[in-house]
Structure 1
Amino acid sequence: MSKKNIIIAFSSDKICNKISCILTKNGISYDHICKTGANLRKCCSYYENGIILCGASFVDEPTHNIIEDFYEDFIFLLLGSADKINMHNDEKVYKISTPIKQEDIISGIDMAYYKSYENIKNKNYKIIEKAKSLLMLYNHFTETEAHKYIQKKSMHTGRKNIDIAKLIIDKYKK
């Protein structure tokens, strides 16, 4: 499974270039480089999830504001000096303190990607469960019948179960 939706976000051009070189050299592509908090917020709005490698603050806003707004959808890898990154005393971020080795960044991305994948699986599970509940409520299906209905629609249309579940939810929202 390829790693995608990776955003590099530092105010410094030098740090952005170093991180992008490390990723590229290790066969990991990134999607965006952001140098301000506003630019990072805009990039986050393009994706449902992803990994953000960033520093402790930007010129226009502290990183913790962005973390608070996007931690449910993105995994944050906070890079910097121990005193700056330790200001973030929550479990919403993974921290890598300086001096940073190339291996630290790569293993941090691997760990963040695994966590991001788990988050996506959990979100998809909740969406499918909600769709099954709606089918049970409005169509008087049993849970097994609702599950089979989603699977059958998925096979007949060539779409994923999660896509069918989203369509069901949208149908009953109206």
Structure 2
Amino acid sequence: MINIIVVFPKKEVALKIKNILVKNGYDVAAVCLTGARAMEAVERLEAGVIVSGIRFVDMVYHELREYLPDYFEMVVVARREQWQEYGDDDVNWLPLPMKGFDLVDLVAELQGEIARRIKKDRTKPKTRTAAEQKIISQAKELLMEKNGCTEEEAHRYLQKQSMDSGTNLVETAHMVLDMF
């Protein structure tokens, strides 16, 4: 589940935004009145959407935005004049007066985008360092030399041993090098 943090300097406004989201089935993880509190809330979460005003007592929204990890998106709710003065094209903006369904639709869209990014990143194959690649290559060369097999057969052997022993390929390659 993607978390939502609401950040506005006025508590009444923050609670109204929270209520719109809650009525539409969203769980709001935190309601904050300052950027510093929002930063603390972000540290406890893996991913989420921040719905905020443009200015807080302690900072402006773009200072908070710079602090956000990869799996966070931001929606700024502000008057057109404020946005023209402080706005940034890299942030989602909703003009005041705001319609509740516009906020709900945008949050849903951003949650879907974050979920896709997380899924894509988790399905990426892990890249090995040059040192790890070297260890695997040395183990394959040793297996090819000692057992008279091809590189593909040596690689398959390492993979099978890795799966059977429950260790990763690099650890298995280390074990092969240690055996000989």
Q: What TM-score, normalized by structure 1, do the two folds share? A: 0.71
Q: Tell me the secondary structure at the aligned position of residue 115 of structure 1.
A: helix
Q: 1:45 to 1:133 in 2, by over 3 A?
A: farther
In structure 1, C-alpha distance between the alignment counterparts of 2:46 and 2:134, rounded to whole Å: 28
Aligned pair partner of 2:28 in 27, 30, 35? 30
Q: What TM-score, normalized by structure 2, do the two folds share? A: 0.69
Task: Tell me the residue number matched to 2:109.
Answer: 111
Q: CA deviation at 1:52?
A: 0.5
Aligned amino acid, residue 56 of structure 2: F
What are the Cα deviations for residues 111-167 of structure 1, in whole angstroms up to 9, with x where unaligned? 1112211332343245x332598864543489xx79xx6xx96xx8xxxxxxx9xxx
Tell whether the 8 Å contact from 2:15 to 2:31 is kept in structure 1 after alignment: no
Tell whether the 8 Å contact from 2:39 to 2:64 is kept in structure 1 after alignment: yes
In structure 2, C-alpha distance between the alignment counterparts of 1:50 and 1:134, rounded to whole Å: 36
RMSD: 3.1
Task: Tell me the residue number matched to 1:50.
Answer: 48
Q: CA deviation at 1:95?
A: 0.7
Task: Tell me the residue number matched to 2:126.
Answer: 129
Task: Tell me the residue number matched to 1:89.
Answer: 88
Q: 1:102 to 1:65 in 2, by over 3 A?
A: same
Task: Tell me the residue number matched to 1:8.
Answer: 6
Aligned amino acid, residue 136 of structure 2: N
Identical pairs, percent: 23
In structure 2, C-alpha distance between the alignment counterparts of 1:16 and 1:85, rounded to whole Å: 19
1:139 equivalent to 2:136? Answer yes
Paired residues, number = 148
In structure 1, C-alpha distance between the alignment counterparts of 2:6 and 2:128, rounded to whole Å: 35
Q: CA deviation at 1:55?
A: 0.7
Large movers: runs of 4+ above 3 Å: 131-138
In structure 2, C-alpha distance between the alignment counterparts of 1:16 and 1:134, rounded to whole Å: 51
Q: CA deviation at 1:68?
A: 1.5
In structure 1, C-alpha distance between the alignment counterparts of 2:44 and 2:128, rounded to whole Å: 25
Tell whether the 8 Å contact from 2:77 to 2:94 is kept in structure 1 after alignment: yes
In structure 2, C-alpha distance between the alignment counterparts of 1:8 and 1:134, rounded to whole Å: 45
In structure 2, C-alpha distance between the alignment counterparts of 1:21 and 1:111, rounded to whole Å: 19
In structure 2, C-alpha distance between the alignment counterparts of 1:124 and 1:40, rounded to whole Å: 26
Unaligned runs of 5+ in 1: 157-163, 169-174
Unaligned runs of 5+ in 2: 141-150, 172-180
Task: Tell me the residue number matched to 1:73.
Answer: 71
In structure 2, C-alpha distance between the alignment counterparts of 1:32 and 1:131, rounded to whole Å: 38
Q: Tell me the secondary structure at the aligned position of residue 99 of structure 1.
A: coil
